[in-house]
Amino acid sequence: SQQGEEDPQALSIQEGENATMNCSYKTSINNLQWYRQNSGRGLVHLILIRSNEREKHSGRLRVTLDTSKKSSSLLITASRAADTASYFCATDRSGATNKLIFGTGTLLAVQP
Amino acid sequence: DTAVSQTPKYLVTQMGNDKSIKCEQNLGHDTMYWYKQDSKKFLKIMFSYNNKELIINETVPNRFSPKSPDKAHLNLHINSLELGDSAVYFCASSQRGARGEKLFFGSGTQLSVL
């Protein structure tokens, strides 16, 4: 089944820096979502971008979607130590059963 | 109040045993899911129920049997546990299916089969 792939697998930055994570997928989608998972916790929804949108903002988060390249990026600006977590993209495939397929995740470490 | 709660948080058991994980959501959502997250953090859907009706069964061994007594509850029963079943199991819910809807996750049940 389709699986998104995040890149990089792991990212370490200093507080105040920006963090960029990428997600690639294989088939056409209806929408793409980003989730955060803190260690030992469940996933928390961050943002949803529809296939007809190219960019979306929410606070310090900026998500882009390029359906021609089948890729998305998540930018976290002015990162904080509390942003340390794993970040996953999830896609809802066009014409497929109503389910979200999650990527492999990017582990972000923000050093204070 | 916790929106999606699952119990227990930790489950340690011997191979061959039968165990259950319970999940409840108080969000009034129609759709509930079980996901399995392996040691590499890969998250894979197992089942989805909509208003107590099974709509997704992702080639999961029939040792795994979900049960939804009402739309607020989705329990997972596992028979004859195997070493490979060790993982973190997450329950989730959404308003109506997954199309255009965000999922709300429970905090997970870490299952260790010895």
Provide the pLDDT for residue A2.
38
Residue B30 sits at the chain A interface (C-beta within 8 Å):
no
When pLDDT is averaged across residues B39-62 and rounded to a whole number, the result is 89
Confirm if A87 and A23 have CB atoms less than 8 A apart.
no
Per-residue exposure over A22-47, b if at least 16 CB sit within 10 Å of its own CB, e if not: bbbbeeebbbbbbbbbeeeebbebbb
Taking the C-alpha atoms of residue A19 and residue A44, their distance in angstroms, rounded to an integer, is 18
Contacts of A1 in chain B (CB under 8 A): 58
Q: For residue A92, what are the β-bridge partners?
A: A31
Residue of A35, A45, A99 with shortest CB distance to B48: A99
Residue A44 sits at the chain B interface (C-beta within 8 Å):
yes
Tokens linked to A106: 């990017």
Beta carbons of B105 and A42 less than 8 Å apart: yes
Residues A4-30 have pLDDT tens digits of: 678 888 999 999 999 999 999 988 899
Taking the C-alpha atoms of residue B52 and residue B67, their distance in angstroms, rounded to an integer, is 8
Q: What are phi and psi of B52, to 5 degrees?
A: 75, 0
Residues A44-72 have pLDDT tens digits of: 999 999 999 999 999 999 999 999 999 99
Residues B74-106 have pLDDT tens digits of: 999 999 999 999 999 999 999 887 777 899 999
Taking the C-alpha atoms of residue A73 and residue A60, their distance in angstroms, rounded to an integer, is 14
